């Protein structure tokens, strides 16, 4: 009995929550009710407040919205649309896209006048002209189209158009769009026409938030997208629809005609190249242009350029260019360039470029402009902000803020809390010491130490200053500094140096392991001393007059190999910086 009561209570609770939340989430954004009482506030702040009250987001061209202008608005339990009409003085058109409201600047109204409607063979031909409703001016380059069949036309210099539409015994709705004008639609039913001054409410259409013209503004888009398609895109903005299939020869010459840039296809086949709103399935072509998102699979024999987000697999013979984000596997013979963030894998022969990186880049040159985590593998790797991961560079690695591991010939960073392993490791705001030492082998050795206290790189050069026992040395190594107290540290250093004993034909290598106590007398000056372990290899059998012969020095212990000897030595020195 108790369990039955609990089940009933859960049912009632679910029903109450559903009823309570339904108005917020099922109701169209423009029909949601809000209340605002604002005086002399910035328009940008009022729009932000409206977003918070209505639980949605705006998308608009900031150049067309005077966000710094002061406005007043007084609405009580009115719809978002009514509030916007009052706020923007009916100079904008509103479009919904998911939880976005797109503000489209449209202060003027279109007028469509038809002079012919001919219905024959399941097709109807409609002609007329488009004008400014207020002054009657004929309008050139207005988009006239049927949302259901995707036939379209542009008006000529006299505002005239003619369009042929397949009617399939259904009413035919013709819509007119033009930049800075509100959309207008006319529905034809046999010999009757019904004028509707609003855009058609075809459920197959939706709107893209943000800037839908990113691709057309790119270098590839400016060159390959026709002027007719650019005008259509400018007039229709983010209006898009879905289609199961499209085929094209070149951009604009295909099954969707000049409206191809407004259609997202499940399958897109481009004999040479195609231009679409996006792909939700598969796209194959010599080159592919998509101004919206691409999901699943895209193959371009030459290249792919996408204005939206890519998810899935993207392959190109020359290059992949994505103007927003990638959550995919990218493969290119030349390069992959992503203006947004990459979460996935980029493989290329030339270079990979991304903003934020969360994944793997493999190419001759890899660049991450934002924070990066993962792996960069190439000849040169660059992370322009924080890097948490592994950089494997044949020649050069750079990270502005290193939090991971660098392995390469030359490693550089501005700041580092990670590890750099290479011939040269440079940290601009890291550990820097200039040290002058003396030891049992060379009177004077100058060492430059750079990196981090945890692991620093050592470059050294030394000499015996005596004219009768000259000796020159140069080499490199690694070291570690452990702070014991504020004024005391312990340094462990492993170095390898070549010794010149008067004849460069011989190989004389000295390996040292030094352990020194470092007493800090000031912030930039310290003294040090400590023992060392030495292992020496030489194939030079005889000394050269005037040069020191290290193998003959006292306290050297020979090994089973006559080329090697070992001994315990010492180091004293001073450090500056």
How confident is the model at residue 204, as a pLDDT?
63
- Here the tokens at position 450 are 């750079």
* Percent of the chain topping pLDDT 70: 92
Q: Of 104, 128, 156, which closes a domain?
A: 104
Query: Looking at the 3D structure of the chain, how many domains does it have?
Result: 4
Whether 379 is in a domain gets the answer no
CB 419 within 8 A of CB 430: no
What's the number of CA atoms in the CB half-sphere (13 Å) around residue 312? 17
* Comparison of pLDDT for 223 and 366, the residue scoring more: 366
- Residues 112-121, mean pLDDT to the nearest whole number: 84
Strands (E), 172-309: 172-177, 181-182, 184-189, 192-196, 205-207, 239-250, 253-254, 263-276, 278-290, 294-306
How confident is the model at residue 200, as a pLDDT?
45
How confident is the model at residue 190, as a pLDDT?
54
The pTM for the full model equals 0.76
Which CATH number goes with the domain that contains 160?
2.60.40.10
Residue the block writes with tokens 């803020």: 401
Of 44-53, 199-208, 221-230, 527-536, the one with minimum mean pLDDT is 199-208
Say if residue 560 is in the same domain as residue 445: yes
Whether 400 is in a domain gets the answer no
Which CATH number goes with the domain that contains 38?
3.55.50.30
Whether 422 is in a domain gets the answer no
Say if residue 218 is in the same domain as residue 309: yes
Say if residue 191 is in the same domain as residue 244: no
Say if residue 173 is in the same domain as residue 236: no
Say if residue 188 is in the same domain as residue 318: no
Q: What letter would DSSP give residue 347?
A: E
Residue 140 CA from chain centroid, whole number: 39
How confident is the model at residue 239, as a pLDDT?
81
Q: What letter would DSSP give residue 150?
A: -
CB 294 within 8 A of CB 278: yes
Say if residue 117 is in the same domain as residue 193: yes
Whether 363 is in a domain gets the answer no
Say if residue 570 is in the same domain as residue 451: yes
Whether 352 is in a domain gets the answer no
Query: 431-470: per-residue pLDDT in tens?
Result: 999 999 999 999 999 999 999 999 999 999 999 988 889 9
Provide the phi-psi class of 108: left if phi over 0, else alpha when psi is between -120 and 50, else beta: beta
Q: Give residue 209's pLDDT band: very low, low, confident or very high (50, 70, 90).
A: low
Distant-in-sequence, close-in-space partners of 4: CB < 8 Å, separation ≥ 6: none
- Here the tokens at position 521 are 């007398």
Dist. CA 195–CA 187, nearest whole Å: 6
Say if residue 565 is in the same domain as residue 509: yes
Say if residue 467 is in the same domain as residue 564: yes
Arithmetic mean of pLDDT over the chain: 88
Q: Which domain holds residue 498?
A: 431-576
Dist. CA 238–CA 98, nearest whole Å: 13
Which CATH number goes with the domain that contains 530?
2.40.160
Say if residue 181 is in the same domain as residue 215: no
Q: Is residue 87's pLDDT more than 50?
A: yes
CB 498 within 8 A of CB 475: yes
Say if residue 440 is in the same domain as residue 534: yes
How confident is the model at residue 327, as a pLDDT?
97
* Comparison of pLDDT for 213 and 372, the residue scoring more: 372
Q: Of 150, 185, 202, which closes a domain?
A: 202
Say if residue 459 is in the same domain as residue 571: yes
Can you give the three-state secondary structure of 152-182, one letter per residue? Answer: EEECCCCCEEEEEEECCCCCEEEEEECCCEE
Whether 454 is in a domain gets the answer yes
Q: Of 104, 119, 148, which closes a domain?
A: 104
Q: Name the residue among 474, 470, 492, 495 with its Cα closest to residue 483.
A: 492
Whether 187 is in a domain gets the answer yes
Whether 340 is in a domain gets the answer no
Q: Is 322 exposed, middle or buried (0-12, 13-18, 19+ CB in 10 A)?
A: buried
Query: 333-390: per-residue pLDDT in tens?
Result: 999 999 999 999 999 999 999 999 999 999 999 999 999 999 999 999 999 999 999 9
């Amino acid at each position: 009995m108790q369990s039955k009561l609990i089940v009933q209570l859960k049912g009632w609770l679910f029903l109450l929550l559903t009823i309570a939340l339904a108005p917020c989430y099922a109701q169209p954004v423009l029909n949601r009710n809000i209340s605002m009482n604002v005086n002399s506030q910035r328009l940008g702040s009022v729009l932000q407040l409206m977003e918070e009250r209505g639980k949605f987001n705006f998308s608009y061209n900031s150049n067309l919205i005077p966000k710094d202008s002061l406005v007043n608005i007084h609405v009580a339990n009115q719809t978002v649309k009514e509030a916007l009409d009052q706020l923007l003085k009916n100079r904008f058109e509103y479009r919904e896209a998911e939880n976005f409201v797109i503000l489209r600047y449209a202060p003027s109204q279109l007028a469509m006048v038809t002079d012919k409607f001919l219905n024959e063979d399941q097709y109807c031909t409609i002609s007329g002209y488009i004008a400014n409703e207020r002054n009657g001016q004929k309008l050139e380059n207005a988009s006239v189209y049927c949302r259901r069949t995707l036939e379209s036309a542009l008006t000529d210099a006299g505002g005239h158009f003619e369009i042929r539409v397949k009617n399939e015994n259904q009413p035919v709705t013709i819509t007119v769009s033009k930049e800075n004008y509100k959309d207008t639609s006319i529905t034809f039913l046999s010999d009757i026409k019904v004028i509707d001054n609003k855009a058609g409410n075809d459920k197959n259409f939706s709107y893209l938030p943000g800037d839908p013209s990113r691709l057309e503004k790119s270098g590839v888009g400016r060159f390959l997208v026709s002027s007719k398609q650019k005008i259509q895109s400018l007039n229709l903005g983010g209006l898009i629809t879905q289609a199961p299939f499209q085929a094209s020869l070149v951009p604009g010459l295909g099954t969707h005609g000049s409206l191809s840039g407004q259609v997202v296809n499940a399958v897109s086949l481009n004999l040479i190249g195609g231009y679409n709103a996006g792909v939700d399935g598969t796209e194959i072509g010599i080159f592919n242009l998509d101004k919206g998102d691409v999901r699943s699979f895209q193959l371009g024999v030459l290249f792919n350029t996408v204005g939206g987000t890519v998810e899935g697999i993207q392959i190109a013979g020359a290059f992949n260019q994505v103007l927003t984000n990638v959550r995919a596997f990218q493969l290119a013979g030349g390069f992959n360039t992503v203006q947004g963030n990459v979460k996935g894998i980029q493989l290329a022969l030339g270079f990979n470029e991304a903003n934020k990186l969360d994944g793997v880049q493999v190419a001759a040159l890899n660049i991450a402009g934002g924070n990066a985590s993962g792996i960069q593998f190439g000849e040169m790797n660059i992370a322009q902000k924080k890097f948490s991961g592994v950089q494997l560079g044949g020649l050069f690695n750079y990270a502005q803020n290193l939090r991971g591991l660098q392995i390469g010939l030359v490693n550089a960073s501005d700041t580092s809390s990670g590890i750099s392993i290479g011939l040269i490791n440079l940290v601009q705001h890291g550990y820097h010491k200039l040290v002058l030492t003396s030891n049992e082998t060379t009177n004077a050795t100058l060492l430059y130490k750079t990196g981090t206290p945890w692991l620093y790189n050592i470059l050294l050069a030394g000499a015996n200053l005596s004219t009768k026992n000259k000796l020159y040395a140069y080499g490199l190594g690694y070291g570690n500094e452990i702070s014991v107290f504020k004024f005391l540290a312990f340094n462990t250093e492993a170095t390898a140096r070549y010794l010149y004993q008067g004849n460069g034909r011989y190989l004389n290598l000295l390996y040292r392991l030094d352990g020194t106590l470092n007493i800090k007398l000031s912030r930039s000056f310290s003294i040090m001393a400590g023992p060392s372990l030495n292992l020496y290899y030489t194939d030079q059998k005889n000394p050269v007059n005037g040069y020191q012969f290290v193998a003959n020095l006292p306290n050297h212990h020979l090994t089973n190999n006559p080329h090697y000897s070992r001994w315990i030595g010492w180091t004293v020195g001073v450090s500056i910086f």
